[in-house]
Chains A and B, each alone.
Chain A
């Protein structure tokens, strides 16, 4: 075998193995996620300081989710935001719950496909949250968290707040659907 033949073979083999490993890993993840029981999802949620997250979020947005435009917005200082959100520990707890909330939304969507719209909104909000927290992790790695935490942390809190509100709305939707199913059965 000549060198170029071996190089071509090695390249094809490497791409094939990468595709196989990545494909199998993610297929397994998707499969697991689709089989996850409701109780399992519930057990993965960790308590967060709800009042504090709400305080941080409502410093920027109205309870409707609209950005505040009044003069009293963004009154919280850097230290206050850090302490209310419990720094990166609090962010990690929110990240954990965000992942669970996406799975919960997907779970409910499987049960009630008509709830797809609100499930998609939760998913998109979670992606926004992910984006903010990714910056925070980068800042943590580069030892410049103090500079960025107040802005990205606060925006992450807003996304989390919005996500939780939408999740609750989704459950209300599903409960209504349950009621509808019950009425039809009766």
Chain B
């Protein structure tokens, strides 16, 4: 199978941007804070290289096996990345927020169950079991990641937990990539690869372009420093006493802690 020019460019751009992002992460010393994210980006670069080489040398059997193995590893890493994000948001000073811990576990298990259920009910239009397996393997990770993303958003917003800038950027990029992928995956499931014709390559291009956009966004946001602690403006000082007037009874021990 011959690779189109556009597909070749997108593949190469993906590899280059993954390497650039990895460099940004190393130069800005983010590896310590986000080890799984760094592994995920490094893995993506290696995966692109392996699949592209196998495609170019027409090693179809090996390509298929590698595709599944790498897809499985990719899903594991994405789930690991969600865990890393969750631990940044919900685990403060090494302890999981006690009011969120159980809910997070329950909703995560429910998300896996729903993602499995939705993947199972897909009426696949692949021509062989292999195509069906590819379609299912493509569909499962984005729906799971989208669900886990929403679970984290809801729990953190209900619990009043802050998102630090870099964590928010990683999550936003992941969500911006996963949500459209659910739609793309559903369309692909409906029609199957072969029946889609031109649409198939267009969907594949959109998928890759979205990922490239995410990589550019991550490069930019991970290069930026976290906002530093700032000095409290003088107007806030005055308002602290205003706050006390409203909330605290003067002359007793409410404010004397």
CB within 8 Å of B: which residues of A? 2, 4-5, 7-9, 11-13, 15-16, 19-20, 22-23, 26-27, 29-30, 33-34, 38-39, 42, 45, 47-48, 50-51, 54, 63, 97, 102-106, 109-114, 116-117, 120, 123-124, 126-127, 161, 164-169, 171-172, 174-175, 177-178, 181-182, 185
Contacts and interface: CB of A to CB of B under 8 A. Distances in A.
B122 A19 contact: no
B247 A167 contact: yes
Contact of A23 (B160, B175, B249): B175
Contact of B236 (A4, A38, A45, A166): A38
Contact of B242 (A42, A166, A169, A181): A42
A86 to B, nearest CB: 16
Tell me the interface secondary structure of chain A in the complex.
helix
B27 interface: no
A178 to B, nearest CB: 5
**Which of A12, A45, A48 has the most chain B CB atoms inside 10 A of its CB?**
A12
Contacts of A174: 232
8 contacts: A4-B123, A16-B146, A45-B246, A111-B232, A120-B92, A178-B232, A181-B232, A185-B231
Contacts of B118: 11-12, 15
Interface residues of B, number: 52
Contacts of A117: 93
B12 to A, nearest CB: 32
Nearest to A124: B99
Contact of B247 (A97, A112, A172): A97
Given A50-B249, A166-B257, A123 B123 contact: no
A9 B243 contact: no
Interface stretch (B1-9, B48-56, B65-73, B179-187): B179-187
A168 B154 contact: no
Tell me the interface secondary structure of chain B in the complex.
helix
B240 A164 contact: no
Given A120-B92, A164-B247, A166-B257, A11 B121 contact: yes
Interface in B155-202: 156-157, 159-163, 175, 179, 182-183, 186, 190
A160 to B, nearest CB: 9
A171 B243 contact: yes
Interface string B213-257: 000000000000001011110011101101110111100111101
